[in-house]
Amino acid sequence: MSEKPISREESFGYDRKTIDYIRNAAAHGLYEIRGMGAKRKLPNFDDLVFLGASLSRYALEGYREKCSTKTILGTRYAKKPIELDIPITIAGMSFGSLSANVKEALGRAATEVGTSTTTGDGGMTPEERQSSKTLVYQCLPSRYGFNPDDVRRADAIEVVIGQGAKPGGGGMLLGQKVSARVAGMRTLPEGIDQRSACRHPDWTGPDDLAIKIQELREMTDWEKPIYVKVGATRTFNDVKLAVHAGADVVVVDGMQGGTAATQTCFIEHIGIPTLAAVRQAVDALEDLDMKGKVQLIVSGGIRTGPDVAKALAMGADAVAIGQGVLIALGCNHDSYFQNGEHRPASADYSALGTAPGFCHHCHTGKCPVGITTQDAMLEQRLTPEFGAKHLKNYLKTLNMELTTIARACGKQNVHHLEREDLVALTLEAAAMAKVPLAGTSWIPGVGNI
């Protein structure tokens, strides 16, 4: 008797992932919280390509000819704008989600390559202030650890309205990461699940924000640039409102942006891709005739030199990187480096129910490579020296790729890259970025085929 063949026809609507999701929901009665950013396929900068120089454009020699990367942020009102050697900055990530060693590594590497780092929810640590030549201090809804001395110690202040991974949502630091030091900085009991508010406590709308920004300016005698960071949703309107409120710099964080711990339903379902957001942000600045007067930083899924170059060509003045930075430090690697040797970490990934290359378990505080942890043993797995060396290499590589692309497009300054240098490989990217589909002059929604 022949065996009955097994049907393996998977449902599109109820595939294994969806079945898993429903099973988990039924088992726990709670939504999932995780770290990192959106995992789904989204239109991104890979869907754009540069039109290098040829007969119609004159290229610069790829290695020798000068190509400036100097970047100045905060020229609108601040007496002391931020001057960076490269347009690639480190995005805000909190001490609490990251270990103190990691914060120090970020500061060291950023200082060596001449760029800025950013604090996160939970305040400024002495380690990061000391190691960072240029430090942006975030003013978040929770105001955990926020204090006037650190405002005065900062080089710029970033008022965070939202984050690309969770626009409209607050934050969560699960109890296992609320160590004595983290709890002390946040004025909370140790070990509790700490929630971060989604709204600022002392202002409610854009008119209030204008006064809040003025308070920060008055407080710092108009010296420091004030950034406003928004998660990408109604980006055109939000950027306009941020400019009206008096921002020197607007930071737009697309939905690929990472987080230490957020509901998966936010990460995957709220916000718009960075590619769409950067175009809306630039449109808003151009509409207000503020392009170049208010600087734009773009973040959310910036991984490579070409990503940086494309963001700049689209009109950003700089980018900010979070997840790429963590990966450079060893996130999702199968080993860590301790006491002079590489040690396997796969068993620790398994214990979390994941594997190297697939991990998004920052929320657990049990990072196998010692990055997103407050555990005294685990955090030894990443020393500031080791982390800084790798991060510096990563940032240098991105910058080299950026300049070599700029030269190929005939630019002596990376800020001269322009939209005209780009075409899109897909209809979606062409429509979102409003650049022509490759080989045509067609921009969906704008021109004719």
Q: Site mask, another protein, residues 16-45, x = CB under 8 A? A: ------------xxx---------------
Which of the ranges 12-20, 62-70, 220-228, 347-355 carries the binding residues for another protein, by CB under 8 A?
Answer: 220-228
CB of 265 to another protein, least distance (A): 12
185 touches, from ligand SF4, another protein, none (C-beta below 5 to 8 Å by class): none
> Closer to another protein at the Cβ: 10 or 149?
149
How far, CA to CA in Å, does 95 sit from each of 113, 182, 449? 22, 8, 51
Q: Please report, as a single letter, which amino acid is at residue 342.
A: H
Binding site for ligand SF4 (CB under 6 A): 35-36, 326, 331-332, 359-362, 367-369, 371-372
Residue 201 binding result from ligand SF4, another protein, none, given CB thresholds of 5 to 8 Å by partner type: another protein
Three-class SS state of 150: helix
Q: Which does 35 bind (CB under 5 to 8 A by kind): ligand SF4, another protein, none?
A: ligand SF4
Q: Are strands 226-231 and 171-173 parallel, antiparallel or unpaired?
A: unpaired
**Adjacent-strand bridge partners of 120:** 123
Least distance to ligand SF4, CB of residue 339, Å: 20
Would you say 250 and 316 are in contact if contact means Cβ atoms under 8 Å apart? Answer: no
Burial of 445 (0-12, 13-18, 19+ CB in 10 A): exposed
> Measured from the CB of residue 192, what is the shortest distance to another protein in angstroms?
4
Residue 202 touches which of another protein, ligand SF4, none (CB < 5 to 8 A by kind)? another protein
Residue 371 binds which entry of another protein, ligand SF4, none, with Cβ cut-offs from 5 to 8 Å by kind?
ligand SF4
Distance, in Å, from the CA atom of 203 to the CA atom of 209, rounded to the nearest integer, reads 6
Under 8 Å CB-to-CB from 278, ≥6 apart: which residues? 252, 254, 296, 298, 311, 314, 315, 316, 433
Cα–Cα distance for residue pair 419/359, rounded to 1 Å: 35
361 binds, among ligand SF4, another protein, none (CB under 5 to 8 A by kind): ligand SF4
Identity of the residue, 147 or 237, whose beta carbon is nearer to another protein in the bound complex? 147
297: β partners: 251, 318
CB of 388 to another protein, least distance (A): 32
- β-pair partners for 222: none
> Which single residue is written with the structure tokens 């941020």?
242
Closest distance of CB 27 from ligand SF4, Å: 23
Exposure string over 16-35, b if 16+ CB within 10 A, otherwise e: eeeeebeeeeeeeeeeebbb
Give how far the C-alpha of residue 177 lies from the chain's centroid of Cα atoms, to the nearest Å.
Answer: 21
Provide the mask over 174-213, with x wherever binding to another protein is found by CB under 8 A and - wherever it is not: xx----------xxxx--xx-x-x---xxxx---x--xx-
The interface partner of residue 321, options being another protein, ligand SF4, none and the CB cut-off 5 to 8 Å by kind, is none
Q: Which does 192 bind (CB under 5 to 8 A by kind): another protein, ligand SF4, none?
A: another protein
Q: Which does 215 bind (CB under 5 to 8 A by kind): another protein, ligand SF4, none?
A: another protein
d(CA 206, CA 254) in angstroms, rounded, equals 21
Structure tokens at 119: 């604090």
For ligand SF4, the closer of residues 254 and 368 by Cβ is: 368
Among positions 3, 9, 10, 218, the unique one binding another protein when judged by CB under 8 A: 218
Tokens 């991990």 locate to 359
Binding track over 85-124 against another protein, x by CB under 8 A: ----------------------------------------
Bridge-based pairing of strands 71-73 and 82-84 is: antiparallel
Backbone angles phi, psi at 4, to 5 degrees: -70, 125
Binding site for another protein (CB under 8 A): 28-30, 142-143, 146-149, 151-152, 174-175, 186-189, 192-193, 195, 197, 201-204, 208, 211-212, 214-215, 218-222
